[in-house]
Amino acid sequence: MKLLVCIKQVPDMESKFKIGTDGWYDREGLAWRMNEYDEYGVEQAVQLKEQTGADLTVLCLGPEQVKETMKKALAMGCDRGVHIADDQSHLKDPYEIASIIAEFARDKNFDLIFTGMQSQDRASAQVGVMVAELMGLPAVTTIVGFAYADGKVTVKRELEGGVKATVEVAPPVLVTCQLGLNTPRYPTLPNIMKAKKKELLSIPAADLHKASGLQETAKIEFPAKKGGGVFLEGEVSTIADRLIGILKEKTAVLA
Amino acid sequence: MKILLVAEYRQGKLLDNYTELLAFAGIMGAESVMFTVAEAAGALPNFDGRLYLAEVSQAGEYNPETHRQLLLDVVEMEQPEMIVLSHSSYGWDLAPRLAVALRAAQISEVVAVEDGQLVASMCNGKLRRTLKSRGKITVVTTQAGAFSPTDAATGAPTVIPVGGAASGKVKLLGYETAKPGGVDLARAEVIVSAGRGVGKPENVAMVANLAKALGGEYGASRPVVDSLWVEHNRQVGTTGHTVAPKLYIACGISGAVQHLAGMKKSEFVVAINTDRDAPIGDVADVFAVADLKQLLPILTEKLQAL
Ligand SMILES: Cc1cc2nc3c(=O)[nH]c(=O)nc-3n(C[C@H](O)[C@H](O)[C@H](O)COP(=O)(O)OP(=O)(O)OC[C@H]3O[C@@H](n4cnc5c(N)ncnc54)[C@H](O)[C@@H]3O)c2cc1C
Ligand SMILES: Nc1ncnc2c1ncn2[C@@H]1O[C@H](COP(=O)(O)O)[C@@H](O)[C@H]1O
């Protein structure tokens, strides 16, 4: 079996964001990490590799710095990395990103492709399904359960209101992973060392870039602050006293 | 402008989020037509217009390949400029399939329309973007709750049956529903919730202790539940409980839209967070900029001494 997992590098969401000059947030001075949803994808792919002895490739499209995040995936157990080098990937729309990934994957006969359900920065929830559609593969989104047996994949899709749907599909198939699908492992030190020796191939995005974007960002801004709540800052003991004062005055819960 | 709205049907029922799609179409000042896979003999959307209806017994409840094809047939007939779905497990699954087939831009999880342009949030609500489609047709998903209907939907649709048997490669085997049980968050007057900011499972006790001191219950955000630090029946949010206590204290919770959806109706909201810019500030009456590990024990102690 051949497996592919797609990961994206995203900024830590606790970062202080600044508006960039190129229609995106300013990418300087941010802490970067693996998109949370993709960690579940990597873990599931590694578990399937362990179960079946499959060969597992991790793919990431982005600038040179994404290799740091790819090394984490390699340390978690992926066999090799494919870095699609693109300094401008943040300005490409989901359709372009998906087209590039599909172009790479098209003739590689992957039996299973894992992506996250969405990226934390853009949150479009499009790239995975689009890759599958462009490749003519079935796709199942938002999975919180995964099993492979007897040549069939059985997944649980998370729906609203505490309901899950059980869906069966035969590979080749693409699944998009939701939070809580599994417990992503922490790379161990020996595995981090081993990962350094794994193959990490770089392909220029231009070689695979055949589609043009379908949308553009007209404006990016900070949302207007809503709420107008009171901020309490400073020494914790003082904050505690002030908070209790406010609760006494404004709510009935301390009565 | 003409918009094609896609209503959802699940477990034998029409879902009422189609009314949010109607509200969106209203804001766009558009003529609407609707599509759904449902039961012609069952409850239909309250909507005055053409409803393209595929029988669920044939097309299946979850059969994205078939639903995509049925929708493409309707697009062919109606030539809409926009196709609008809810950003739900049905909508985010189907929308990109339509977008690829039509080579149309998809604008996901729209939260507002400003000057006729679509706005979506990014980076967990810390930024927002105005997006423009380059093509003649645009696929849109709308954020749950972002477009609330002002009036109750009325009217009866003109049903136009469309056909197509399920032929997709994925097979829906069935549904399972989480068992309710244990705590009843919906009844608690005070809820103190633990977010990822608690850092480690042992610190959940600080949150539980504060809840106890206030005579309430403790809840949690999703990552805390996913990490198995707190059981699922305490999760607040779109995939957990919707609560509206007199007092909600969010400890180390950033305020993602899926969390806010579960608690923003609370009467009084306190946020305890080290990040002054965390989007939970949008719904907080009081925002304590503090490390919860330091604040919670002191606060609990002082409350116990009252
Ligand atoms: C379809 C779907 C459904 C979802 N359903 C739900 C749902 O039902 N409920 C839900 O909660 N989420 C849900 N989510 C996930 C949601 O998008 C967020 O990922 C999640 O709510 C984040 O949880 P959090 O705020 O605890 O963690 P984070 O976003 O990681 O935030 C942690 C916060 O803690 C603060 N912090 C860190 N250290 C400290 C400290 N020492 N003291 C004080 N503050 C600190 C940080 O500043 C940060 O703001 C869903 C997502 C999707 C896609
Ligand atoms: N630049 C990228 N490189 C690799 N995979 C990506 C990239 N962007 C998005 N993806 C994948 O597509 C999923 C959905 O992303 P999005 O459509 O941006 O919300 C992510 O969770 C990733 O698995």
Nearest CA to ligand 2 atom 7: A8
Enumerate the domain spans of chain B.
Answer: 2-161, 185-304
Q: Tens-digit pLDDT profile for chain A (255 aa)?
A: 999 999 999 999 999 999 998 889 999 999 999 999 999 999 999 999 999 999 999 999 999 999 999 999 999 999 999 999 999 999 999 999 999 999 999 999 999 999 999 999 999 999 999 999 999 999 999 999 999 999 999 999 999 988 999 999 999 999 999 999 999 999 999 999 999 999 999 999 999 999 999 999 999 999 987 767 899 999 999 999 999 999 999 999 987
Mean pLDDT, chain B, integer: 95
Give strand pairing partners of A140.
Answer: A175
Closest approach of chain B CAs to the CA of A55, in angstroms? 24
Phi and psi torsions of A23, nearest 5°: 85, 20
Q: Within 13 A of B137's CA, how many CA atoms are on the CB side?
A: 20
Nearest CA to ligand 1 atom 31: B254
Asked whether residue B165 carries a pLDDT value surpassing 80, the answer given is: no
Provide the CATH number for the domain around residue A31.
Answer: 3.40.50.620
User: What is the structure's pLDDT at B183?
Assistant: 84
Q: Is B238 in the pocket of ligand 1 (CB under 6 A)?
A: yes
Number of folded domains in chain A?
A: 1
CATH of the domain spanning B2-161: 3.40.50.620
CA B214 to ligand 1 center in whole angstroms? 23
Q: Is A127 in the pocket of ligand 2 (CB under 6 A)?
A: yes
Report the first-to-last Cα separation within chain A, whole angstroms: 64
Q: pTM for this structure?
A: 0.96
pLDDT tens-place string over residues B25-60: 999 999 999 999 999 999 999 999 999 999 999 999
Among residues of chain B, what percentage have pLDDT more than 90?
92
Give strand pairing partners of A85.
Answer: A62, A204
User: What is the structure's pLDDT at A173?
Assistant: 98
Cβ(A85)–Cβ(A64) under 8 Å? yes
Spatial separation of the C-alpha atoms in residues B298 and B70, rounded to whole Å:
60
User: What is the structure's pLDDT at A227?
Assistant: 67
Question: Does residue A185 sit within a domain?
Answer: yes
Question: Does residue A215 sit within a domain?
Answer: no
User: Cα dist. B51→A96, B4, B21, B92, B306 in Å?
Assistant: 33, 10, 14, 21, 61
Domain that holds residue A203: 2-207
Residue A220 has which token pair? 């990016």
Whether the domain at B2-161 and the domain at B185-304 fall into the same CATH topology: yes
Long-range contacts of A15-20 (CB under 8 A, 24+ apart): A16/B277, A17/B123, A17/B126, A17/B127, A19/A220, A19/A221, A19/A222, A19/B127, A20/A220
Q: Is B260 left (phi over 0), alpha (psi -120 to 50) or beta?
A: alpha
Contact A14 B275 (CB under 8 A): yes
Q: Residues, chain A, total?
A: 255
Lowest mean pLDDT among B22-26, B76-80, B149-153: B149-153
**Strand ranges inside chain B, DSSP E:** 2-7, 9-10, 13-14, 31-38, 50-55, 82-86, 105-114, 117-122, 127-133, 138-142, 158-162, 171-177, 190-194, 217-220, 247-251, 268-273, 286-289
Report ipTM (2 d.p.).
0.96
Question: Does residue A221 sit within a domain?
Answer: no
Higher pLDDT pick, B166 / B58: B58
Contact A160 B131 (CB under 8 A): no
Size of interface A-B (CB pairs under 8 A): 257
Could you tell which of B221, B231, B232 is best to mutate to test the pocket of ligand 1, judged by most ligand atoms within 8 Å of the CB?
A: B221
| CATH superfamily of the domain spanning B185-304 | TPP-binding domain (3.40.50.1220)
Nearest CA to ligand 2 atom 20: A116
Asked whether residue B152 carries a pLDDT value surpassing 90, the answer given is: no
Mean pLDDT of B4-19: 96
Spatial separation of the C-alpha atoms in residues A187 and A74, rounded to whole Å:
9
Contact A221 B128 (CB under 8 A): yes
3-state secondary structure A154-185: EEEEECCCCEEEEEEECCCEEEEECCCCCCCC
